[in-house]
Structures are given as C-alpha cells and as structure tokens.
Amino acid sequence: MKVVTSVKNAHLYDEKIQENRLLNFALTDYLIDWVQTQKEPVLHFWQLPETFILGMKDLRVDDLKNGLKIIAKSNYQPVVRNAGGLGVLNDAGILNISLFLPNPQRKISVDNAYQIMTELIQKALGTAEFPIEAYEISDSYCPGKYDLSIHGKKIAGIAQRRLNEGIAVMLYLSVDGPQLARGELVKNFYQAALKENFGARGYPAVNPAVMKNLNDFYPVNVTSVKEKITIAFADYFATDISEIVIKEQLKKTAAQLFLQEKFTKMTERNETLHQLFQEVKNNDPL
C-alpha cells in the first residue's frame, strides 16, 4: 500500500551522535514545518549519547524521584520529550530514524503514516529468514500498535508527531549494544517509580527478554543500516536523494532563529526534571 505519490525531490539529513540532547526535538518541529512548505519528504538519521527519553506520561508516575535514582546509578541522562508516550533509551547502538512527510489537506491518516514507515523498514531490513512484523509487544518498553519485531522479539518502536500539514514518523531501532541491560534499566525505573502499581495504569510491565537487537539476527551495524534504509527511501519515492539541501537550509538565519525558539521551549520543559535529577544525584552520590 503506497499512500504517498511520487515527488520531485527527497532529502537526507544524516547526523552523527548529538551531544546536545534537546536539539533534535527542536529540529523535529523545524523539519515538520519545512516539509509542509516544500512538499518534499526528508529522512533524518540521528543518535544521542546515553539518554533515557521520558514521555509526558512518565512524569506522572507515583514516585518520579525514586525512579530517577535508578537512572542516576546508570550512565544515562534523563530528558522529557515534547510528546506523549513512554520511556525509551538511546545510546550508540540505537539509531533514530525520522521520516518527514508533507500532508496536503491532511489526506494521510495516522495509520497510513505508520504504515509508510513500517513498509520502509520492512523493505530495507527484512529478509525471508527474518521477516519484520508490526504488532504490539505489550511487555516491551514503550509498547505500541506498530512495534516492529522479528520472530516475536521487538527491535523497534514508532511514534508520530503532526503539526498542521506536516508529519514526523519517528522510529527508534535497536541495532546493537546491550539491549538486555537497556530493558533491565527501564524495568527497574518503572518498578521504583510505580512500586505496587508496576504494570498498571497504562505503564508497561517491562520484560527485558522480549526485546532484541537487529544485530542479534544477522550482522549489521549503524552504518550499514543507514545505507539500507537510504536505498529503500530512494526507491519508495522513486527519486534521487539530496544530502545538501537540508544542511544548507539549517545554516540560514530563519532556521537558526526557529531552532533557538524551539530549543528554549524544550529547555524550559526539562528544567524541573533536570533540577530533580541533580537533587537526586547530589543526595545519593555514586
């Protein structure tokens, strides 16, 4: 099912590990705005250092401070994103893939947008021996209808952000690294933050064993995964891919002002969490 017609141009923005943990959330809003104006899709690869990305719902756990103690004992830094959903982890073995789609007259439904990303990943990374399927893995962390799995083990999750006539479909993919340890960290966070309510009220009863890396099934790394997805992206939209346009666009004054405004809002959104985390670290030195 192809719900997007062919386009004149498509764009790639491949970003290395970004030490500024909040900047990519500002960039997401910028690129949503850009694609609805230019009517051209963008594929964005990005990574973060060790980061525990909390959803807004995670701030409403019974005892957030107790949960943050668990994060403080790890090498991860918590941030809260500007959207709903639940916690996910980022590190050098996790690749974030954001697909930005123009949505004139808002013809692309929520499910259609998820399906586009699903088909892109299936085409790029699925094989006859290791087919990628989309359905909820309810005891994974950040479970959702469009979890992507191989032989019942979740490798990726998808979220979506919509602003006017632009869409960002955002996927985190566990490529390699300590996925079992990642799952244990998220499980321990929710157990500490929810106590007897662990697994209740819409928070997952995380079972680390239900998640795997793509590399657990066949040999890949972040670089080779990017290459496969870029080829599938070009094929899907039947066009060449430009890697120059977005880089040049982001240098412009208007783009820099837009990003600064959104970054400031993200910083303000994270201020209370940051203060609480520093308090926890100061009171419970490692």
How far is 216 from 174, CA to CA, in rounded Å?
Answer: 10
CA-to-CA dists, residue 165 to 38, 83, 97, 107, angstroms:
11, 18, 20, 9
How far is 5 from 68, CA to CA, in rounded Å?
Answer: 45
**Which residues pair with residue 102 across a beta bridge?**
166
Taking alpha carbons only, the member of 135, 111, 133, 114 closest to residue 122 is 133
- φ and ψ at residue 12, rounded to 5 degrees: -120, 135
Contact 153, 214 (CB under 8 A): no
Contact 230, 123 (CB under 8 A): no
How far is 120 from 182, CA to CA, in rounded Å?
Answer: 26
Contact 61, 29 (CB under 8 A): no
Q: Position 151: which residue type?
A: H
CB atoms within 10 A of CB 226: 18
- φ and ψ at residue 128, rounded to 5 degrees: -60, -40
**Which residues pair with residue 162 across a beta bridge?**
167
The arrangement of strands across the sheet holding 51-54 comes to 77-80, 51-54, 88-90
Length of the chain: 286
Tell me if residue 142 is catalytic: yes
Q: Which of 142, 170, 175, 194 is catalytic?
A: 142
- φ and ψ at residue 138, rounded to 5 degrees: -65, -25
Which are the catalytic amino acids?
142
